[in-house]
Amino acid sequence: MIKSNNNPVKEIINEEVSLFSMWIRSVRRRAARPVSGVRSTGGDVRGSGGRGLAITPPMEEIPVDGPLIDEQSLTIEPAPPMLGLPPASIAGALLEFGITLASASQRVLMLDYDGTLAPFKVERMEATPYDGVREAVAQIMAMGDRVVIISGRLATEVATLINLDPMPEIWGCHGWERLVGGELSRLPLAPKQSERLFKAGYTLKNEGFQSRLEYKHGSLALHWRGTTEDEKSAILTAGLRAMEPASGVDMKMHRFDGGLELRATGRDKGVVVKEILSGLDPKTPVAYLGDDLTDEDAFRAVQSRGLGVLVRPEPRETAASVWLKPPEELIEFFGLWLKSTQRKS
């Protein structure tokens, strides 16, 4: 490895290239052909004012992950093919972000939990972090950087699973609640939103799906992880039947990795990211790491200010700039963050 005694920026680049070369992955994008239920609006890849790579999603709506649902017949269609972006552009974005980290006095790392910091589990409270994640997050916080976990789970569940002291700032239930300094606060729901969530849950409970339900502040999730295809089809059909009557301006159905969710509108992970960014110096480097369709709002929100990182075993259509395959590449990303921070210190 070549080092420079006279150019600290070149030294940073030379040292970080060895890390980047192990885990640079190209972001995937869907082919331009029409997809059932999704309207294409075009899209492009462009620079972002010296802040790394920004990606404009070609879809007006993010389609469901994996198989697509034809809601009329409830049949499963294969996902359309995807095209790769130039690896060189991804490498450039990562290298520039590493240099930005090294030169900054403050940094903010925003993280999803399930599927990002921890593998999915059929028993949800068994979803503990990948080996090395707790240690890495604790070290990043110890260096003085702000770490925020933004999850669809209850904030208290995330706190139990991440099990850190001190605890990072946690936004739960897609931004409807916040846990910081041991204090939990919740934003109020409209009475009609609470009523519709209750009715949908009551219907599904009476149909025998109580064990598959997750009641949260502002949402109701129906899980099918760990089921057969026939069982999944039955759960999906029941979920659509119970949740569709509640959907409207103030309530929306969302597909996530492993289930279907009815959520109150007005809050999502993108809203939380925007609120966090609004309180930061525009020069503060930020990153958001997530895996699911619920993270796409956050990827779009961070696009013009920092780095969006898709963390999952396989690539998919996304507004993120970079794809990392957990857990190894996730840990390497944390290592890059720590190395850059320590260099500044």
Q: Are residues 144 and 199 in the same domain?
A: no
* Band of residue 43 on the pLDDT scale cut at 50, 70, 90: very low
Shared-domain flag, residues 171 and 101 = yes
Paired residues of 308 in beta bridges: 288
- The domain that holds 224 is classified in CATH as 3.30.980
How confident is the model at residue 88, as a pLDDT? 55
- What are the structure tokens assigned to 332, written together? 């390497």
**327 alpha-carbon distance from chain centroid:** 15
Q: Which residues pair with 28 in a beta bridge?
A: 84, 317
- The conformational region for residue 44 under phi > 0 = left, psi -120 to 50 = alpha, else beta, is beta
pLDDT digits over 104-119, tens only?
A: 999 999 999 999 999 9
pTM over 0.85: no
4 falls within a domain: no
Residues 15, 22: Cα–Cα separation, whole Å: 13
Residue 43 included in any domain? no
pLDDT in tens, 259-277: 999 999 999 999 999 999 9
Q: What is the three-class DSSP state of 178?
A: strand
pLDDT at 85 over 60: no
pLDDT tens for 52-65 read 333 333 333 333 34
Give the integer Cα–Cα distance in Å for 222 and 211. Answer: 9
89-98 pLDDT per residue, tens: 666 777 788 8
Alpha helices in 104-225 (DSSP H): 133-142, 155-162, 191-206
Domains contained in the chain, number: 2
- CA dist 177 and 216 (Å) reads 10
278 in the same domain as 141: yes
CB 101 within 8 Å of CB 291 = no
In angstroms, the CA 209 to CA 212 distance is: 5
User: Could you tell me the two tokens for 101?
Assistant: 């980290």
Q: Is the domain of 260 the same as that of 297?
A: no
Residues 306 and 289 in one domain: yes
Regarding whether 250 and 152 lie in a shared domain, the answer is no
Examine the pLDDT at 38 and tell me if it is beyond 60: no
Nearest Cα neighbor of 317 from 94, 110, 64, 119 is 64
Range of the domain at 328: 96-177+267-344
Task: For residue 221, give the nearest of 267, 248, 257, 176 by alpha carbon.
Answer: 257
Do 209 and 234 sit in the same domain of this protein?
Answer: yes
Question: What is the biggest distance separating any 2 CA atoms in the chain, rounded to whole angstroms?
Answer: 71
Same domain, 230 and 103: no
| Contact indicator for 292, 65 with CB cutoff of 8 Å | yes
Distances (CA, A) of 72 to 75, 215, 238, 239: 8, 27, 14, 14
Question: Which among 216, 234, 264 is the end of a domain?
Answer: 264
Find the radius of gyration of the CA atoms of the chain: 20
Decide which of 264, 286, 302 is a domain's last residue: 264
Q: What's the confidence (pLDDT) of residue 344? A: 57
The domain that holds 289 is classified in CATH as 3.40.50.1000
Side chain identity, residue 229:
E
